[in-house]
Structure 1
Amino acid sequence: MSKFKALHEQVAEKLIAALEAGTSPFQKPWTDDHTAGFMTPLNPTTGKPYRGMNALWLAMQDRQDPRWMTLKQASFNKWTVEKGAKATLINFVKTTDLQPVLDKKGEKVLDENGKAKMQTVKLENPIITNAWVFNGEQIKGIPDWKEAYEAKQAEQQWSPIEKAEQIVEASKAKIKHGGNQAYYNLTKDFIQLPKKEQFDSAAKYYATLLHELGHWTGAESRLDRPMQGKFGSEDYAREELRAEIASLMIGSEINIGHNFGQHAAYVDSWIKILKDEPFELHKASADAQKIFDFVLDIENKLAQKQEVTAAKTNDNVLNKGDVIPYKNAEYRVLAILKGKTAQMVELNSGNKFKLGPKDGLYSSLVYARNNPVAREAEQMMHYDATKDKVEFSHQMEMAEQEQAPGRGMKR
């Protein structure tokens, strides 16, 4: 009998030890540069993040670099795995397989080189298979991960707070404020939070709100999870584990962080559950991934719908993505907020501001975008007027020099 433990058992054991020591991804403090806390592991060769339990497992490997890949993927990019480096096991669900093309007689079809032609076939029954991956710290020749991360952040057109606001607004979840507790009321379908000013920062407020939004997804009309457990029960703790893992994923994705203080009371319950049922972590991680996908998908679909609608009908308003030169400056529309208010950035200075339809600059930018010829003419007039002003000032200065005693004379 094999002594090799299934991955979910390995992850559960490591997470139990980390929870008991206070060093789990949940309990690590969040920092702006991701040097602590949770950063979603990703595969740099595919550009895709790892999902579910794999994401949690790889994040627990005490590595600063969030990138992971197979030996074959590293070699394809001409990167070299360090001699003696130890690989880390992950699981993935295989839904397709590469199989030879067969003719009517059931024989392999050969290509011009005499090799069997291959095709991708969808499996009727997906299977869980293993893969072994190496971390970026174990690979020579790979670019520095912090430089790649900072470049990606520089391209980001929204702040974490703005993104959180967009996600919450897109969800249409009912949110109430007051008291000292944060929770989701399943019966009446609303989220209860303390007032914003009771939190140390806006980031902690939105991190807590996004955690409760994770619970909100469990309603029957959404992801329909079992959520009948009473406060303090084991079933309640199971749901908290799902929302906590989802909070890590969402917090990392939008760079707003994760507020563990609200949920520290569940640590003992999680340890007990994982000791009794190690496979519960696999199920919780899978549900957390569904929460992540559901929450982010709402906002993405709304943004796409807004873009399509804007492209068709919004000639008289600013649209997300507009870049408009106007009076020696250039403006970009980062997002469209409630009431057609535009989140703007002045590209020359980097200053961000909000602009409403009643603001004079708003209508001027709409006109400048819709009338590029007129805009160019106005800029030329502005240039000529500036040039004439400079020439006139120069002429006046010369006249003053000629009239003033002692000026303009050779020494």
Structure 2
Amino acid sequence: MAPKKTSREVAAEITALIIRKLEEGVAPWKRPWAVTGAGGRPLRHCGTPYTGINNLYLWAIADACGYRSRFWMTRRQAEELRGNVRSGESGSLSVYYSAFTKRENDPATREERDRKFRFLRHYIVYNCDQVDGLPDFYYPPVLPDTPIDPSARQAEIDRFFKAIPADVRHGGNEAYYNPSRDYIQLPHPRSFKSMDYYASVRAHETLHWSGSSSRLARIFGKRFGDKAYSFEELVAEIGSGLICADLGLPNELHDSHASYVGQWISVLKADTTAIIHAASKAEQAFNYLRQFSESAKEISEPTATAAHHPAALAA
């Protein structure tokens, strides 16, 4: 049995793959949902979507290895489903934070207090393309590569953005979020190639809007020195990728800001936990923005049950 990796080794392994994909020009938050057969986020064996860094990392693994299944599971879970991981297959990391509490003396008050410590843990999972004998449910059918009719997703796009109480102004030829005056500036929708392109850009700027001090207060301070702004851009890129995947937007829309890619790579090389932190912040922002449309839907459909929720169907 291979020796257990330390938290530092796990973070370094994840970061190395993300850096390699960035250097190849394939950001792990843009392309993979179209590569996998069924699209969408990676799923646990029970159908629950992965979140945070697991989402990006398993997307990157699937892209690098050509896996089409969205599902991942441990060897034991595969065996419980009467499946068998093929001989010679290599597993992938799935990480989570654990914590313990230690009783310490407060040097200022000389009183005892509980201090909580968080640390990174991991286990090994396999994509279902690496496993034989599973129920057909876990293997995506081979589908023709036909684009989705833009009108089929426009209602969902409109519902998502309409519910968010951001001040969005249209005009000019620039897209940005103004933090001092708290508004989003976008060109007129007619200026874009399609409403999908417009939605993609609006998603990115709305991610910035979510980080305001009056909302999620996403302030990185001096942690990354003069890289703080590019780190915020990284969070916005990852978060907008999650929105676009959720709304079913074509993946080719999402071109990373070229001027930031080099800075992102330097930040990740300097701090192997940076991508984990960025993915966590992006996930938090995505969930924050998503709750607006979910709340609006609950109000308009008060009798809806969980069984009829799109997320339940996707699982």
- The aligned runs of 1:41-190 (5 Å cut-off) are 41-43=42-44, 45-61=45-61, 62=64, 63-94=67-98, 128-142=120-134, 143=136, 145-147=139-141, 159-190=152-183
Distance 1:203 1:214, change over 3 A: same
238, 257, 271: which one aligns with 2:265:
271
1:225-271 per-residue CA deviation (whole Å, 9 max, x = no partner) reads 11789xxx521100010011111222112212453336232101101
Answer yes or no: is 1:292 the counterpart of 2:286: yes
Q: 1:300 and 1:291, CA in 2 relative to 1: closer, same or farther beyond 3 A? A: same
- TM-aligned CA deviation for residue 287 of structure 1: 0.3
* Residue deviations 1:32-67 (CA, integer Å, cap 9, x gap): x5459x842111x32111111111111111223222
Using the alignment, how far apart are the partners of 1:272 and 1:223 within structure 2?
26
User: Does residue 246 in structure 1 map to residue 239 in structure 2?
Assistant: yes
The CA distance in 2 between the partners of 1:27 and 1:223, in whole Å, is 24
Q: Which amino acid aligns with 1:173?
A: A
> Matches of 1:125 and 1:54 in 2, distance apart?
21
CA contact (8 A) 1:39 1:59 kept: no
Q: Which has the higher contact order (CA 8 A, sep 6+)?
A: 2
Structure 1 CA distance, aligned partners of 2:131 and 2:216? 40
Contact 2:169/2:186 (<8 A) preserved:
yes
Q: Distance in 2 between matches of 1:173 and 1:224?
A: 15
Label 1:302 to 1:139 Cα distance change in 2 as closer, same or farther (>3 A): same
The letter for the 1-side match of 2:41 is T
Deviations 1:120-162 (A, max 9, x none): xxxx866532110000110112326334999xxx9xxx94322
Contact 1:161 1:206 in 2 (8 A): no
Contact 1:237 1:270 in 2 (8 A): yes
SS in 1 for 2:257: helix
Amino acid at match of 2:269: K
In the alignment, is the contact (CA less than 8 A) between 2:29 and 2:242 conserved in 1? no
Residue aligned with 1:192, SS: strand
- The equivalent residue for 1:224 is 217
How much identity, in percent, do the aligned residues show?
28
Give the distance between the partners of 1:127 and 1:271, measured in 2 at CA.
24
Q: CA RMSD in A?
A: 3.2
Q: Secondary structure at the match of 2:87?
A: coil
Q: CA deviation at 1:11?
A: 1.8
Q: Which structure would you say has the larger Rg?
A: 1
**Cα contact 1:237–1:269 (8 A) shared by 2:** yes
- Residues 236 and 164 of structure 1, relative CA distance in 2, 3 Å threshold: same
> 1:275 & 1:167 partners in 2: Cα distance?
35
1:2: Cα distance to partner?
Answer: 8.9
CA distance in 2 between partners of 1:238 and 1:140 (Å): 41
What is the SS of the residue equivalent to 2:160?
helix
Match of 1:133, SS?
Answer: strand
Contact 2:212 2:218 in 1 (8 A): yes
SS at match of 2:190: helix
How far apart in 2 are the matches of 1:228 and 1:191? 23
Q: 1:303 aligns with which of 283, 286, 297?
A: 297
C-alpha distance in structure 2 between counterparts of 1:135 and 1:2, whole Å: 20
Counterpart among 4, 8, 13 of residue 10 in structure 1: 13
- The answer to whether the 8 A contact 1:207-1:257 is kept is no
**Which secondary structure does the structure 1 equivalent of 2:184 belong to?**
strand
- The 1-side partners of 2:246 and 2:240 are apart by 10
How far, CA to CA, are the matches of 2:160 and 2:119 in structure 1? 34
Which SS does the other structure have where 1:49 is aligned? coil
TM-score, normalising length: structure 2: 0.76
What is the one-letter code of the residue matched to 2:271?
E
- TM norm structure 1: 0.59
Is the 1:26–1:260 contact (alpha carbons within 8 Å) kept by the matching residues of 2?
no
Report the Cα distance in structure 2 between the residues aligned to 1:60 and 1:198, rounded to whole angstroms. 33
Q: Extract unaligned runs of 5+ from structure 1.
A: 97-123, 312-319, 322-333, 335-411
